[in-house]
Amino acid sequence: MIFQDFVFYTLAAILLIAGLRVITARNPVHAALFLVLAFFTAAGIWLLLEAEFLAIALVLVYVGAVMVLFLFVVMMLDINLDRLREGFWSYLPVAAVVGVLMAVEMALVLSGRYFIEAAAPVAKPAGYSNTAELGRVLYTDYLLPFELAAVLLLVAIVAAIALTLRERKDSKFIDPAAQVQVKRNDRVRMVSMPSYTEPEAEQAQQEPKP
């Protein structure tokens, strides 16, 4: 147990530092990379809780896909930090109020009667697979919420595509099917040219025309 505590506190410290650096790093790419680190250590903590499916899914989805696209965009931006920091002091009171409100809300939830500290979960036997267990629960007990979430995501996907879908006039898009079906005669015109011309004819060509 000592070792597990040690691992937990190490991961938790890295997670907190990484989370802090996400909002304090001056360079947006560094901030995004710290967010990657935060996801990774969070996955480590979940592994410690024997939730290996969630941990791996976190790495797979957030680190492997979402953050890659995030970095992709952030890397191409040329962000002027000074302009972002303009009006810091004028926004501070509002931000402070929102921050304090969030802290109070969290304190209410954590100290209230809804958040009873659960007993430490009993370690599962060696053959227990929480991947299979999660799949079984999702497709039996929680089938309707699961399908609703899936439909919601589908709507979001369709909406995102519909938002970006527009016919561009200057697009140089070529239909691959048409490309494949091109025959030689569509592109090349065979011209019959004599390889040798008479010297007199050459001279006559070189003379300037009247």
Partner 1 sequence: MMESLQTLFGSSWPVVWTLAKIVAIVLPLMIAIAYLTLAERKVIGYMQVRIGPNRVGYFGLLQPLADGIKLLMKEIIVPTASNKGLFLLGPVLAIAPAFAAWAVVPFDATLVLADIDAGLLYILAMTSVAVYGVIIAGWASNSKYAFLGSLRSAAQIVSYEIAMGFALVGVLMSANSLNLGKIVTAQAGGFWHWYWLPLFPLFIVYFISAVAETNRAPFDVAEGESEIVAGFHVEYSGMAFAVFFLAEYANIWLVCMLAALMFLGGWLSPVPFLPDSILWLFLKVGFLVFCFLWFRATFPRYRYDQIMRLGWKVFIPITLVWIIVVGAMMQTPWAYLFH
The interface with partner 1 within residues 165-194 (CB under 8 A) comprises 176
> By CB under 8 A, which span of 14-22, 63-71, 102-110, 188-196 interacts with partner 1?
63-71
Check binding of 38 to partner 1 (CB under 8 A).
no
Tokens for 124? 């599962």
Residue 24 sits in the site that holds partner 1 (CB under 8 A): no
- Is position 57 an interface residue for partner 1 (rule: CB under 8 A)? yes
49 binds partner 1 (CB under 8 A): no
Q: Which is nearer to partner 1, 8 or 53 (CB)?
A: 53
Residue of 36, 38, 44, 46 that binds partner 1 (CB under 8 A) = 36
Single out the residue of 36, 24, 23, 34 nearest to residue 68, CA to CA: 36
Interface residues with partner 1 (CB under 8 A)? 29, 33, 36, 52-53, 56-57, 59-60, 63-65, 68-69, 71-72, 75-76, 129, 131-132, 176
